[in-house]
Amino acid sequence: MALRNHPAKYSAFGLVRRGLRKTNWPRVWREPDWKSSYDVIIIGGGVHGLATAYYLAANHGITNVAVLDKAYLGSGGSGRNTAIVRSNYLTPEGVAFYDRSLDLYNTMSVDLNLNVMFSERGHMTLAHTDSALRTMNWRAEVNKLQKIDSSVIGPDEIKKLAPSLDVSTNTRYPILGALYHPPGGTIRHDAVVWGYARGADAQGVDLHQKTEVLDILCEGGDGADGKGAGATVTGVRTRRGDISAPIVVNCTAGWASTIAGMAGVRLPITTHPLQAAVTEPVKAFLPTVVVSGSLHVYVSQTDRGELVFGASVDPVATYNMGGTLEFTEELAGHVLELMPGISKMRLLRQWAGLCDMTPDYSPVMGPTPVEGFYVDVGWGTYGFKAGPVSGEQMAACVANRATPDLIKPFELSRFTEGELVGEKGAAAVGH
């Protein structure tokens, strides 16, 4: 279904013109017709899947692509994360990778012609123990070697950057220092989803929403129905019918294992929920993103003035996104240790998202033992900030049939080779 004036070019002038003429904006993306075959099928319509589709079209000219999502675009982790971006990781592989993502986020509003509200407000990871301070120094040195703006600062500077923090020494976990990363910040996560969806759609990619994948069709494998190692992908079976395709990319985060299982591939992934919460809006008082590993919390203030809190993943594996009272109780206690002044603020709501946790806190990207079946999964608690670079690299991986150097360390085969990329010290707050 073609749309007139599609896609509309967004600009201040366009806004005024349409406001005066009172004409409606055209739909942002098409409701595509059903097709029975594509060159590439991407399962999962979140940041990762949409970015992969966008870069396949933009960088490699592959436009006969479908993105399938069982619900609406951005309904999973892409719309549930706390929208923090940074690149101050611990391993050289991780730093190079996430820094490329930050580069892409920096120019995204222009590239996609959509304001993604990137706020480069700085990112502070607090250290409450000597060992945490040691890790912060380690991270700062790894970061500096790769030309990332990252340094360890003391309590006085912390107090200047975020006056609401309690940096006194008579708390349970006194703040000894912090890893300060000025290029980090927050971004509007929905806008990133919409920007990629709109950009991909404009280049001819079909975005099929409410299209749940029931099975992945394979032939020639060792397992049942020709699946498993040595098989070749031939297409997918969805609620709306079968689609044939020589390449299927799994970008389904929390549900990654269930989708990979349909192709007979086992992944080193366990699905845990991560809960987050938001308060009522107040005047701006917290200029940076603040993270505390010891207190299992990270907090930032949105442009509307709400405080957004995230925590560590819940310890028990589940696909259920229900909230728990234990979470809000612990969160409130921990946040008040950091910022005693906000005790009268009210929590507005809480939610959860599913995290596909890997043993080494690094993702799993690239080919699998099934020919034509690619994965971009294992995104745990750090998938949103990696969305753009993952899309770019997965698109290159699929288009060239070879894994790019930037994601080579994250291939599935690292688990059989025993070459894990241990990123827990910089990727998680629950340790």
Partner 1 sequence: MLLVPCPNCGPRNAADLTYRGESHARPDPNTATREEWRTYLYLRDNPSGWLRESWYCSSGCRTHFQIERHTFTGELREPLLPGSKTGGES
Stretch that binds partner 1, among 16-24, 90-98, 105-113, 259-267 (CB under 8 A): 259-267
Choose which of 9, 315, 344, 346 interacts with partner 1 (CB under 8 A).
Answer: 315
Q: How many CB atoms sit inside 10 A of residue 141's CB? A: 12
User: Is 229 an interacting residue with respect to partner 1 (CB under 8 A)?
Assistant: no
Based on CB atoms, which residue is closest to partner 1, 124 or 236?
236
Choose which of 4, 22, 325, 343 interacts with partner 1 (CB under 8 A).
Answer: 325
At its nearest, how many Å lie between partner 1 and the CB of residue 254? 9
DSSP-assigned states of every residue in 347-401 = EEEEEEEEEEE-TTS--EEEE-SSBTEEEEE--TTTTGGGHHHHHHHHHHHHHHT
User: Is 418 an interacting residue with respect to partner 1 (CB under 8 A)?
Assistant: yes
By CB under 8 A, the residues from 271 to 310 that bind partner 1 are 271
**Collapsed DSSP state (helix, strand, coil) of residue 226:** helix
User: Is 224 an interacting residue with respect to partner 1 (CB under 8 A)?
Assistant: no
Based on CB atoms, which residue is closest to partner 1, 261 or 422?
261
Bridge-partner residues for 298, per DSSP?
291, 310
How far apart, in whole angstroms, are the C-alpha atoms of residue 412 and residue 195? 29
User: Is 261 an interacting residue with respect to partner 1 (CB under 8 A)?
Assistant: yes
**Residue ranges of E strands in 52-159:** 65-68, 84-85, 123-127, 151-153
Choose which of 31, 324, 341, 349 interacts with partner 1 (CB under 8 A).
Answer: 324
How far apart, in whole angstroms, are the C-alpha atoms of residue 227 and residue 387? 29
User: Is 266 an interacting residue with respect to partner 1 (CB under 8 A)?
Assistant: yes
Determine the size of the site formed for partner 1 (CB under 8 A).
23
How far apart, in whole angstroms, are the C-alpha atoms of residue 79 and residue 71? 12
How far apart, in whole angstroms, are the C-alpha atoms of residue 280 and residue 14? 33
By CB under 8 A, the residues from 85 to 104 that bind partner 1 are none
Q: Cβ(286)–Cβ(299) under 8 Å?
A: yes
At its nearest, how many Å lie between partner 1 and the CB of residue 386? 21
User: Is 326 an interacting residue with respect to partner 1 (CB under 8 A)?
Assistant: yes
Q: Rule CB under 8 A: which residues touch partner 1?
A: 255, 257-258, 261, 266-271, 315-320, 324-326, 359, 415-416, 418
